[in-house]
Amino acid sequence: MMASGLAVFGLAAGMLAPTDVAIAGDQLTVISAGGAYQEAQRKSIFEPYVKATGSKVTEGEWSFELAKIRAMVETNTVNWDVVESYGSQVLKMCDDGLIEKIDWKKLGLDRTKFMGSEGQDCGVPSQINSTILAYDKDKLPNGPKTIVDLFDTKKFPGKRGLWKSPTGNLEWALIADGVPLKEVGQILATPEGVDRAFKKLDTIKKDVIWWTAGAQAPQLLADGQVVMTAAFNGRIYDAVKNGGKHFETVWDGEVAGWAYWVIPKGSPRRDEAYRFLAFAASPQPQANLTRYIPYGPSNIDALQLVDPAILPQLANAPNHLERALQPTLSFWAEHGDELKQRFNAWLAK
């Protein structure tokens, strides 16, 4: 596996080598999510790409405002060349003709080697992260083991932290209500399933502290405001590694979230964008990202290059994905807006 990983990396690197350096004066604008994550990308992808190609990368940040890309494309003023987005948004942008369909032959990479690529014609999977359940072992030595425990206020009395969003919470509610993991998407796709999920959320509503920013979840745990909380896996890892906390991650029912590189329709530097994607999606840069932030590589061959000490912290570690919840992206792309409205109305009751 490692040999084949190096072969794929060599193929991608070949696309970047000597003849392409002749046009290395190209300037590429790459947009990501900012913060510690983009700093990790800078070290593992952006700077090595510049060094390998001589191209210039101008970075930008966004908060996934779909209207920004729509306005650029519809007014033919595209000045973003590569953008990172998330699963259901990529599907929507693809359906709306706002981003390019990916030509994997032009990319020079084998699509079958990429987890998260199925059903995504307009995105190159970049990494997997997850929303998990976490608790403080210092305050709760015998903490929760499953998503069912999140809803058990008798066994685990006290406040729980949850992300203020229907995504993931509706699925967790169905799991706690007895729906098998593999049937959650099918059940949620029905009006009865949605009603069932909200009814289960009703049972813990008065015990929930809702958070809206990733940094809030570990802070709620640290302050003892909650006995357990949903959290982004990278935040809990950072609190343990760099904050000295004794937080424990519950991987059962983790809500897997794939990120994707996309090319806005009409990018004037489409060829350069492809060269960047070929580099960013190859095994070594994806593996290198995990040195700075625990987001798993989508390229299967990259997993072989990850430090064995880091691998257990990744959402797609082999024993984690078996228990992972992978939301139906097409469902959320189609029904996300209406469910957010219903969720907000439910919160206001």
pLDDT tens-place string over residues 234-287:
889 989 988 999 999 999 999 999 999 999 999 999 999 999 999 999 999 999
pLDDT digits (tens, 9 = 90+) for 197-232: 999 999 999 999 999 988 899 999 999 999 999 999
- Same fold for the pair 2-128+258-321 and 131-256+329-348: yes
pLDDT score, position 222: 96
Please say if the pLDDT value at position 105 is more than 90.
yes
Mean pLDDT, the chain, whole residue set: 91
Element (H, E) at 188: helix 184-188
- CA–CA distance, 15 with 6 (Å, rounded to integer): 14
| Superfamily for domain range 2-128+258-321 | Periplasmic binding protein-like II (3.40.190.10)
Q: Is 285 exposed, middle or buried (0-12, 13-18, 19+ CB in 10 A)?
A: buried
Amino acid 14: pLDDT: 32
Burial of 61 (0-12, 13-18, 19+ CB in 10 A): exposed
Helix axis angle for 329-348 and 87-95, nearest 10°, is: 110
Q: pLDDT for 9-43, tens place per residue?
A: 222 333 333 333 334 446 899 999 988 899 999 99
Model pTM? 0.82
**Is 131-256+329-348 assigned to CATH 3.40.190.10?**
yes
The DSSP code for 45 is I
The residue among 285, 309, 312, 313 whose CA lies nearest residue 299 is 285
**CA within 13 Å, CB half, 115:** 22
The pLDDT of residue 116 = 92
Domain positions in the chain are: 2-128+258-321, 131-256+329-348
pLDDT digits (tens, 9 = 90+) for 51-89: 999 999 999 999 899 999 999 999 999 999 999 999 999
